[in-house]
Structure 1
Amino acid sequence: MVNSNRYSLVNPKKSPVFYGYVVLFFGIIGVLASIPGQTVGVSVFTDPVKDALGLSRNQFSNAYMIGTLLSSFLVTKAGFLFDKYGARYVAFFATVFLGISLLLFSISVKISETFKSILNIDSWIIPFALITVLFFFIRFSGQGVLTMTSRNMIMIWFNKNRGKINAISSITVSLGFSASPILINRLIDDYGWELSWQILAVCLFIFSFFIIQFYRNKPEDFDLKPDGSITDKNKETIDIEEVEDNFTLARAKKTRAFWMYGLILAFNSFFITGFTFHVVSIFASQDYTKSQAIAVFLPISIIAISVATLCNILSDYIQHKIYLYIMIASGILASLGLLFLSSSFGIYMLITGLGLLGGLFSVVNAVTWPKYYGRKYLGSITGKVMSFLVIASAIAPSLFSYCFSNFGSYSNISYITLAFLLFLIIGSFKVENPQKYL
């Protein structure tokens, strides 16, 4: 018990409210704190940083892709560390590491010039190699570890109310991610990109203190139960407890559900990342303006938030394989929308499909894993799934670009995605919740 509360002045057992709600609050902040390592946070820095380092857009994008791919190989290992040491310490070190990485990024031009001077080489390869390593750092610590640990911690503290809690988390995180480019861009305009990264780093270091104070691994460490407790008519406290089969990663990988859910989440990551990365060019290829291209994100966000809220609440009561089928259908809708983007009907299909995918992604990626495989080995399981997502997000921009440069249209990517979704349709017929066999 002492180890569970080491270095902290906060005792969950003395909390006036169920401590899971405190975990929810700080877990949401933890996911938002990962923004500097997410695509949405990095994209705002793209133009000033690549120009300062003397890199082309393709060189900068390739460094981002390689760094992201490299990070995917270690995310699963971080999941095992989560299971062994808990969210508290893993999130702390991930946050500190992300902050240090941002400080290095802020002086990347000086580092690049120093290496050029030492090696007596004036080549783009040096800044390219440097930011590839730095992208690996921030993608691993931010997009991978900090996001995974914060989300998993919230899910561990809840069971029967897991869907409702994730609805709150999803809405807050969605709004935070949507607003972050505007806020970061304002920061860059006021202070420049170097100082902006330093300010974000200081914020991360401050938050790391709050992680040690308020993050907690699981309620059982403090003689508590997920969701808290209920009181009967005689005012006697009754703990809520269910029999739960905790799957190891090796055992989970032997189930059909692990692969079908993991692959549909990876598809979502692939399609949305590729579309977002090239959205202006995609619509320009069909003679739409930049403002028209950017405008599609508003209805997509509205659909996604609405779907996430409803489906998170319903997830406590219905079978999750329904969500799998809807995500596959949404992927087909989005793929057909991209294929027929030249028509207004195609745009509506694309917006609807992406909105449904985005909304259900936040439900399945958070709620389904503990519901299907238990909480004990949640880190290693979600860490492996996160590696799928990272790989998919890394290759998407390049594959979208390849289709356009070689075939003159982005619509050709739809044939690849539709073929993949056909495979998922066939594979998902016999998907069942492994817990049903208890």
Structure 2
Amino acid sequence: MSNPLKLSLVNPQKFPFFYGYIVLLIGSIGILASIPGQTIGVSVFTDPVKDALGLTRNQFSNAYMIGTLLSSALVARAGIWFDAYGARYVAFFATLLLGASLLVFSVSVEISGAIKALFNFDSWFIPFLLITFLFFLIRFSGQGVLTMASRNMIMMWFKKNRGKINSISSITVSLGFSSAPILLNSLIDEHGWASSWQIMALSLFIFCLCILLLYRNRPEDFDLLPDGHDKKEVDQEAEEIETDFTLKEAKKTRAFWMFGLVLAFNSFYVTGFTFHIVSIFGSQDYTKAEAIAIFLPMSIIAIFVSTTCNILSDYIQHKIYLFIMLASGVVASLGLLFLAYPIGVYLLVGGLGTMGGLFAVINAVTWPSFFGRRYLGSISGKVMSFLVIGSAIAPSLFSYCFTGLGSYRYMGYVTLVFLLFLIIGSLKVKNPQ
């Protein structure tokens, strides 16, 4: 790898304390910086943007689906880039691309109008193609690459304390993600959706400099070991032997597929639900404020679950988390079925909150614990492609369920069938290590 200190004055080896804690801080901020490319960041823009572009809910959802599906084809490749070039450069270019994409998105109405005038062709298809391409860019750079690179970097710097460290990161990320819809909604109300995206783009460009200064790929690049040990002080023979699986080897294990698919289910359900949350609750006579308000109790549950399970993850089998997450998915699915009653809201909050908390544990801690750190980028990148595909098809399926069948509740039946398949397939899951 090239000089790890290039374009930076910060040397982790000369830091007064273990640099992994700086990595923890800046990496967690990096995950938060991906919010504009996450569904939770896009959802509050759905109604004003589709109305401004003259698109229907189905057309907007389809553009989101196609753009996200296209991004899934490159996310796995980004994992290989992570293994080859490290978190620093991969995260830098992802953040730069995300910021530039938001700037273009902010003037999408003007661009669409100019193209219509140029070709003298007034059709919904022009803004549809435009935002499909823009969704591809922000989903690839934000949800995919920046999130993956930042999370993996944190896990690279810790081993024995991986769960405890991830609990700290998860709390920060959960608080940020849960408050994002409220903050972004206020930003839109005050400045409008276009200016809001421009403000976020400027913030991302500033964060690019922070990445160059503070992101660091691996402790071994600076003659350090995970958790703060110095190579000169540690008896290498006393270190636990960890088998590093290649992506090809990992794909041959049942654990890779069952854990990957349950994470994909979480991505599917949360994306579809969040993308249409105002409409879902509105169909049962709830207000927009009441719909957005459920993110707070969900985040409280998610923080409690992620903190507890992250700490315990250093000591107990992760298969337990797999089944708890599957059970939580069942609860959340039942919540959608019974949303017409007060119990439905409680089921949704409890199920989605627990799933969100466990997602933060499994998606960060399980992969290095099960398959080692050497090929973490390619393995987590492949799993990220599952998540992206799940999040891509969800908005359209939820939308067609509502417009075609008249209610979102039928999605609950679909998700329950898929969860039954996962429960049966997970019975014989084992840790590959």
Moved more, 49-58 or 2-11: 49-58
Give runs of aligned pairs for residues 362-401 of structure 1, distance below 5 A: 362-401=360-399
Judge conservation of contact 1:230–1:238 (CA < 8 Å) in 2: no
Structure 1 residue 184: Cα displacement: 2.9
Partner of 1:251: 249
Identity %: 72
How far apart are residue 116 of structure 1 and its match? 1.9
1:23-422 alignment runs, 5 A limit: 23-229=23-229, 241-422=239-420
338 and 72 in structure 1: CA distance in 2 versus 1, 3 angstrom threshold: same
Give, in angstroms, the shift of residue 199 of structure 1.
2.5
Alpha-carbon deviation of 1:54? 2.8
Change (3 A) 1:309 1:83: same
Q: Specify the code of the residue in structure 1 equivalent to 2:300.
A: I
Measure, in 2, the Cα distance between the counterparts of 1:285 and 1:226.
Answer: 50
Q: CA RMSD in A?
A: 2.2
**Shift, 1:207, TM fit:** 1.2
Name the SS of the counterpart of 1:247 in structure 2: coil
Is 135-144 or 117-126 further displaced after alignment?
117-126
Could you tell me how far 1:321 is from its partner in structure 2? 0.5
Distance change (3 Å), C-alpha of 1:267 and 1:214: same
Q: CA separation in 1, counterparts of 2:368 and 2:309?
A: 16
Q: Kindly state the Cα deviation for residue 398 of structure 1 after the two structures are TM-superposed.
A: 1.9
- 8 Å contact from structure 1 (residues 153, 217) kept in 2: yes
Rate the CA distance shift 1:134–1:292 in 2: closer, same or farther, 3 A.
Answer: closer
- Structure 1 distance, partners of 2:53, 2:403, is 26
Unmatched 5+ stretches in structure 1: none
Segments of structure 2 that go 5 or more residues without pairing to the other structure are none
- The alpha-carbon distance between structure 1 residues 421 and 185, as it changes in their structure 2 partners (threshold 3 A), is closer
Moved more, 190-199 or 123-132: 190-199
Question: Measured at CA, do residues 205 and 298 of structure 1 come closer, stay the same or move farther in structure 2, by a change above 3 Å?
Answer: closer
Give the AA of the match of 1:355. Answer: G
Q: Is the 8 A contact 1:278 1:397 kept in 2?
A: yes
Once residues 55 and 338 of structure 1 are traced to their aligned partners in structure 2, the CA distance between those partners, rounded to angstroms, is 26
8 Å contact 1:64–1:132 — kept in the other structure? yes
2-side partners of 1:195 and 1:295: how far apart?
Answer: 24
Instruction: Give the CA deviation at 1:194.
Output: 3.0
Q: May I ask how many residue pairs the two structures share in their alignment?
A: 432
- Give, as a single letter, the amino acid of the residue that structure 2 aligns with 1:322: I
Secondary structure of the residue that 2:69 maps to in structure 1?
helix
Bigger mean CA deviation after superposition, 75-84 or 65-74:
65-74
Greater alpha carbon shift after TM alignment, 423-432 vs 147-156: 423-432
Q: Given that residues 267 and 390 in structure 2 are in contact (C-alpha distance below 8 angstroms), is that contact kept between their aligned partners in structure 1?
A: yes
Larger CA deviation: 81-90 vs 396-405: 396-405
Take 1:150 and 1:93, find their aligned partners in 2: how far apart are those partners? Answer: 13
Counterpart of 1:41, as a letter, is G
Q: Are the equivalent residues in 2 in contact too, given 1:225–1:241 (CA < 8 A)?
A: no
| Cα distance per residue 1:341-368 (max 9 Å; x no partner) | 3444444333222221111011101110
The residue identity in structure 2 corresponding to 1:214 is L
Post-superposition CA distance 1:251-293 (Å, at most 9, x none) = 1100000000001111111112222233344344445555544
Q: Distance in 2 between matches of 1:107 and 1:156?
A: 39
Counterpart in the other structure of 1:8? 8
- Give secondary structure in 1 for the equivalent of 2:317: coil
TM-score with structure 1 length normalisation? 0.93
The residue matched to 1:16 in structure 2 has which SS?
coil
Q: Deviations over 1:293-338 (max 9, x none)?
A: 4443332222111101100111111110100011111112222232
**In the superposition, relative to structure 1, how do residues 146 and 4 fare at CA in structure 2: closer, same or farther (>3 Å)?**
same
Instruction: Indicate the residue corresponding to 1:20 in structure 2.
Output: 20
Task: Determine the C-alpha separation between the residues in 1 that align with 2:320 and 2:160.
Answer: 19
CA contact (8 A) 2:245 2:371 kept: yes
Deviations 1:159-187 (A, max 9, x none): 11111111111110111122223333343
